[in-house]
Structure 1
């Protein structure tokens, strides 16, 4: 057993984001874990890589940025994940996600079982992308039986999801994070509501989710907690790219929640973290947490 004590599990994809001029390490679970570690929360990443150069390079990166690869499985049959990221003139990013790859085949193993049996895990963070293959989806289903706060960061990437799987994930979640377009997509399934707050309330009611976060890009974010709404208008920054910005946002939100801060403090810090990471290239840049505090102070 790895002697580290963990607070959080991030489940799903680790990969290389292939940009027009370079490649950078990525995958939402890895990005969230990176920022959680920066914020002082030991995080286990449940994922998979191939037995290939890309996988070995990724392990080197993880080591260099202080992330624990103990729970990342090595797959002999499938390659390390790659995503071809295309950045538009407005800095928005579209993705071509290679499949099948190693993280599609995350299996239950003794390392996971021992951690789930012996550790005091407070949160499990997961998304929809890792459920595109039944193998990883089945492993996640078993992990979601563990008594921790379930955090769904939806991260819809067409065509890698179905309504059936999304509804299963939302019913399992205690906290859901999604952006405005994702909110519109999922709530159009069951409501005629058009207002932002109406849609959020409808989502909370249908899936019995007490806590919902909707990111609004440059316009900030809105948070729903047990029937009450909290907003932040966002921070004005010079954007390099938006890769990993939402992942940083989620990590910062969970940090505030763990520390017992108020919902308004949580959404403010999360908005600042997401904005600050957007000033860098890639999802795991080298930065100091104090920089985020300076952005809040102005």
Structure 2
């Protein structure tokens, strides 16, 4: 989507001007991956309009493979306005119905869309936008299973886009195919209504459930172990996009063969860095920036 960032903090009705940028959970994740020196392919549909051109060129400029991004002249590109509080917490106001994604149906895809892919990542925001998107996601998951490709899923619950009941019903169709479930603590509690992480893991046979806890850090649950990692201490400016950065860095570590404690360290670091900069993806770190922040490399400035 096109993002309009406010020129000042506080309620949106008192904001006099906005700055145009590009955002969206799935694209943020893809950019996060490319900045960590891995390749990312983005599957989507945007409007064939000026805003769509901004998004397409921005994604391509970040090194994201846009060969499976279609453009439609029939529906305008989606936009949203962001509200930022004094503590950096954000609220989103969406204008995305109808969405260009209406024209990206399951019939548009075949197995070749995942050729050369090592992991399929799906966001719950995508599922919320159009009713048929769950069919698209399930078809992609089927292709992934045929090709023995692991699947990561972030519920990214957006109750401004649909009800909690609709979200639960859609997500329920995916859980048993998910290898990495990356969810916020509050999301987990809303989605699973008092059930334990272990209980959910055993029911759906999810390899790893990763619980993001913001300034309290994060935890990972496997079939036999629990891993906890404290957050990095920062002053948050804008928390929107921090979860996407966490996901990208965790998946980077997973594909890189890092152990879980190291993945958590990378993910917490990436999420923290994004929260220190205004914007959805402006703060997504390069691999060198991330390693410098978490202390693996020294920063030398001349």
TM-score range, shorter chain: 0.7 to 0.9
Matched, 1:249 2:235: no
After superposition, residues 1-298 of structure 1 pair within 5 angstroms as 15-20=1-6, 21-98=18-95, 99-108=97-106, 113-116=111-114, 119-132=115-128, 133-146=130-143, 147=145, 148-161=149-162, 162=166, 163-188=168-193, 191=195, 199-285=196-282, 287-297=285-295
SS in 2 for 1:29: helix
Alignment deviations for residues 151-195 of structure 1 (CA, whole Å, 9 cap, x no partner): 11110001434121121122331111111110111121x63xxxx
What residue ranges of structure 2 are gaps of 5+ in the alignment? Answer: 7-17, 297-302
**What TM-score do you get using the length of structure 2 for normalisation?**
0.85
Question: How many residues are paired up?
Answer: 274
Moved over 3 A (4+): 108-113
Distance, in Å, in 1 between the alignment partners of 2:187 and 2:102 is 23
Deviation at 1:77, TM superposition (A): 1.8
**What TM-score do you get using the length of structure 1 for normalisation?**
0.86
Distance, in Å, in 2 between the alignment partners of 1:288 and 1:96 is 29
- Are the equivalent residues in 1 in contact too, given 2:2–2:23 (CA < 8 A)? yes
Distance, in Å, in 2 between the alignment partners of 1:293 and 1:114 is 35
Q: CA RMSD in A?
A: 1.9
Alignment deviations for residues 237-265 of structure 1 (CA, whole Å, 9 cap, x no partner): 22221121111111111111111111111
Distance, in Å, in 2 between the alignment partners of 1:68 and 1:115 is 11
Compare 203-212 and 176-185 and name the one that shifted more. Answer: 203-212
- Are the equivalent residues in 1 in contact too, given 2:5–2:82 (CA < 8 A)? yes
Label 1:65 to 1:183 Cα distance change in 2 as closer, same or farther (>3 A). same
- Are the equivalent residues in 2 in contact too, given 1:51–1:79 (CA < 8 A)? yes
